[in-house]
């Protein structure tokens, strides 16, 4: 509810009771945002921070209205600069090393803080000023961010393409994504769409789902236009990219966590002068949020995306009957879609299956590898909190027709997100020729220390036709190492098949 009579009284407070003190912005006795430089553990470190920033500088848990709930979960307060091939061993450069924090104003109606930071190599220096006010007409706090950057060796960032893109922030939203499977105590996801005012004047919608589609890339915002998550009756957070920054910005939405990567497009000659970006975070009026939601148009997918814009949803007991549509938002559960990962001949079969009329199918004439896959099984895939590491057994029924070559199988591997694959692919035995429905198994030992993610593959190596149905993923109750499963799943296959 809008409070036009609210008179803010901002202050900076540091909480005790822990050595790593919590630092908060307050309005009266209400904590409305937390300044954070805590160490980020896995799997979030690799998923959100690409294993680059162990202690990111972040403003967390932003409230946008007095006594409201937090609507913005985090705002990164540093620049990410792209790769520089001339710096040995550097995968990226980010101004994530805090140098100074100054509270420059805290009074009844205005709060101002300045953060200075640098990268570990000394290539760039960042200064970020956050000014906080309250808009009585909107009933919203207004967080204004002024981001400046000075690059000491601009030639290190020159690109053969000419222009370069530096990321100036990557905000993400509270209670997004929704859980991707059902589990006890799960949170309820908020918002079904992003809507934004585009440079061409249109209002565009982006359905919230885990498809890595063109809906989420190359977003060009209008000057001072809004980018909002909609619609919830108790508040809809929005980003507003201001002035010249908007004209030079390109936005992409991460299909994993729906964080909003905001990049500034720069010419090489501009790297020798101070660089500036401006944006704000606010809560638009309820009428504005409803209007944008009602007027927003869905842009068409690219032509090469259309054949697999509707595919089955993943679950740990999966008969491939529930659809995921790239053009529609999630409803309740926000599942991961099965996607073609290699080769050709992928078909979502809707007329033939083992337990119903649905299955995944590969049908092809070449001898290469084709596979369906899911890449986000595990706690980092919004599937519940961490549990003690356990062995994982994966099973699936497979039917084949005239398969020539190495054969058809299921397989799995552990993975560290945003890193090269280093863990072996563990495969079931492979079926060749023609076979009726046969249950195959793969068992993985408890996850290595570095990762929580499992990739699952439904594969055909060679020509012919294969159907896959009734997949099941089971976390075993004991967490003991299960010797031999890394190298010979066919023994386990036969033991389980004989006992089925």
What is the reported pLDDT for 449?
A: 77
Residue 440 lies in a domain: yes
Q: Read off the CATH number of the domain in which 75 is found.
A: 2.70.98
Residue 3 lies in a domain: no
Do 271 and 390 lie in a common domain?
A: no
Among candidate residues 236, 361, 384, the one with its CA nearest the CA of residue 311? 361
What is the reported pLDDT for 453?
A: 87
Residue 2 lies in a domain: no
Cis check for the bond before 43: say yes or no (omega within 30 of 0). Answer: yes
Domain count, the chain: 2
Point out the domain boundary residue: 298, 325, 346: 298
- Pairwise CA distance, residues 278 & 141, whole Å: 17
Do 123 and 207 lie in a common domain?
A: yes
Rg of the chain over all Cα atoms, to the nearest angstrom: 25
Burial pattern 137-173, b for ≥16 Cβ within 10 A else e, equals ebbbbbbbbbbbbbbeebebbeeeeeebbbbbbbbbb
**Cβ contact 219:200 at 8 Å:** no
**Which residue is listed with tokens 């997004």?**
176
Q: Which residues contact 331 (CB under 8 A, 6 or more apart)?
A: 192
CB-based burial of residue 112 (10 Å sphere; 0-12 exposed, 13-18 middle, 19+ buried)?
Answer: middle
Tokens of 407: 């054969």
Do 149 and 247 lie in a common domain?
A: yes
- Pairwise CA distance, residues 192 & 228, whole Å: 11
Do 134 and 153 lie in a common domain?
A: yes
**Cβ contact 131:112 at 8 Å:** yes
Residue 27 lies in a domain: yes
Three-state secondary structure along 83-101?
CCCCCCCCCCEECCEEEEE
- Pairwise CA distance, residues 64 & 245, whole Å: 23
**Which residue is listed with tokens 């060749």?**
432
Do 283 and 339 lie in a common domain?
A: no
- Pairwise CA distance, residues 370 & 411, whole Å: 12
* Backbone torsions φ then ψ of 298, nearest 5 degrees: -90, 120
Point out the domain boundary residue: 233, 267, 298: 298
Do 22 and 169 lie in a common domain?
A: yes
First-to-final CA distance of the chain: 59
Point out the domain boundary residue: 298, 318, 336: 298
Do 217 and 83 lie in a common domain?
A: yes
What is the reported pLDDT for 144?
A: 99
Q: Which domain holds residue 407?
A: 303-498
Do 244 and 362 lie in a common domain?
A: no
* pLDDT tens-place values along the chain, 500 residues long: 556 789 999 999 999 876 678 999 999 999 999 999 998 888 888 888 887 888 999 999 999 999 999 999 999 999 999 644 334 444 678 999 999 999 988 777 899 999 999 999 899 999 999 999 999 999 999 999 999 999 998 998 888 888 999 999 999 999 999 999 999 999 999 999 999 999 999 999 999 999 999 999 999 999 999 999 999 999 999 999 999 999 999 999 999 999 999 999 999 999 999 999 999 999 999 999 999 999 999 999 999 998 999 999 999 999 999 999 999 999 999 999 999 998 999 999 999 999 999 999 999 999 999 999 998 998 889 998 776 678 999 999 999 999 999 999 999 999 888 777 889 999 999 999 999 999 999 999 988 877 778 999 999 999 999 999 999 999 998 644 333 343 344 444 554 554 44
**Cβ contact 27:110 at 8 Å:** no
Q: Read off the CATH number of the domain in which 370 is found.
A: 2.60.120.260
Residue 1 lies in a domain: no
Residue 243 lies in a domain: yes
Burial pattern 356-366, b for ≥16 Cβ within 10 A else e, equals eebbbbbbbee
**Cβ contact 236:64 at 8 Å:** no
Do 455 and 492 lie in a common domain?
A: yes
**Looking at residue 491, what DSSP letter applies?**
H
Q: What is the pTM of this model?
A: 0.91
Q: Give the number of other CB atoms < 10 A from CB of residue 428.
A: 27
- Pairwise CA distance, residues 75 & 60, whole Å: 7
Do 322 and 251 lie in a common domain?
A: no
Among candidate residues 189, 190, 239, 237, the one with its CA nearest the CA of residue 219? 239
Residue 129 lies in a domain: yes
CB-based burial of residue 368 (10 Å sphere; 0-12 exposed, 13-18 middle, 19+ buried)?
Answer: middle
């Amino acid at each position: 509810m809008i409070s036009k009579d609210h008179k803010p009284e901002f202050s900076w407070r540091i909480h005790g009771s822990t050595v790593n003190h919590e630092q908060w912005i307050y309005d009266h006795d209400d904590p409305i945002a937390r300044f954070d430089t805590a160490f980020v553990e896995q799997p979030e470190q690799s998923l959100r921070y690409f294993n680059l920033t162990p202690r990111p500088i972040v403003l967390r848990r932003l409230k946008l209205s007095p006594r409201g709930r937090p609507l913005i979960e985090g705002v990164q307060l540093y620049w990410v600069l792209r790769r520089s091939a001339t710096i040995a061993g550097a995968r990226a450069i980010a101004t994530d090393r805090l140098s100074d924090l100054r509270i420059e104003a805290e009074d009844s109606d205005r709060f101002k803080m300045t953060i200075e930071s640098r990268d570990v190599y000394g290539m760039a220096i960042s200064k970020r000023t956050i000014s906080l006010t309250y808009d009585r007409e909107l009933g919203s706090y207004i967080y204004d961010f002024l981001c400046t950057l000075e690059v000491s060796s601009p030639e290190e960032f020159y690109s053969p393409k000419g222009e370069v893109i530096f990321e100036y922030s990557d905000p993400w939203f509270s209670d997004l994504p929704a859980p991707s499977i059902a589990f006890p105590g799960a949170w309820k996801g908020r918002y079904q769409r992003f809507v934004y005012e585009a440079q061409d004047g249109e209002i565009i919608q982006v359905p919230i789902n885990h498809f890595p589609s063109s809906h989420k890339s190359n977003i060009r915002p209008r000057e001072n236009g809004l980018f909002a998550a909609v619609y919830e009756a108790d508040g809809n957070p929005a980003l507003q990219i201001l002035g010249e920054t908007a004209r030079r910005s390109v936005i992409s939405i991460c299909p994993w966590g729906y964080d909003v990567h905001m990049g500034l497009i720069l010419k090489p000659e501009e790297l020798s002068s101070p660089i500036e970006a401006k944006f704000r975070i606010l809560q638009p009026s309820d009428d504005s949020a409803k209007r944008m939601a009602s007027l927003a148009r869905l842009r068409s997918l690219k032509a090469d995306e259309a054949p697999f814009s509707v595919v089955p949803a993943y679950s740990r007991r999966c008969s491939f009957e529930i659809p995921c549509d790239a053009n529609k938002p999630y409803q309740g559960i926000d599942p991961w879609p099965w996607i073609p990962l290699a080769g050709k001949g992928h078909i979502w079969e809707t007329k033939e299956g083992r337990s119903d009329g649905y299955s995944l199918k590969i049908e092809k004439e070449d001898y290469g590898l084709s596979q369906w896959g899911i890449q986000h099984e595990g706690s980092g895939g919004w599937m519940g909190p961490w549990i003690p590491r356990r062995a994982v057994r994966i099973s699936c029924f497979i039917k084949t027709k005239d398969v020539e070559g190495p054969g058809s199988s299921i397989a799995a591997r552990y993975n560290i997100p945003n890193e090269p694959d280093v863990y072996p692919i563990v495969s079931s035995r492979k079926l060749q020729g023609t076979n009726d429905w046969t249950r195959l198994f793969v068992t993985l030992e408890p996850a290595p220390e570095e990762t929580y993610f499992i990739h699952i593959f439904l594969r055909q190596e060679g020509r012919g036709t294969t159907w896959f149905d009734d997949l099941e993923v089971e976390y075993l109750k004991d967490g003991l190492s299960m010797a031999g499963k890394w190298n010979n799943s066919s023994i386990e296959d036969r033991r389980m098949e004989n006992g089925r």
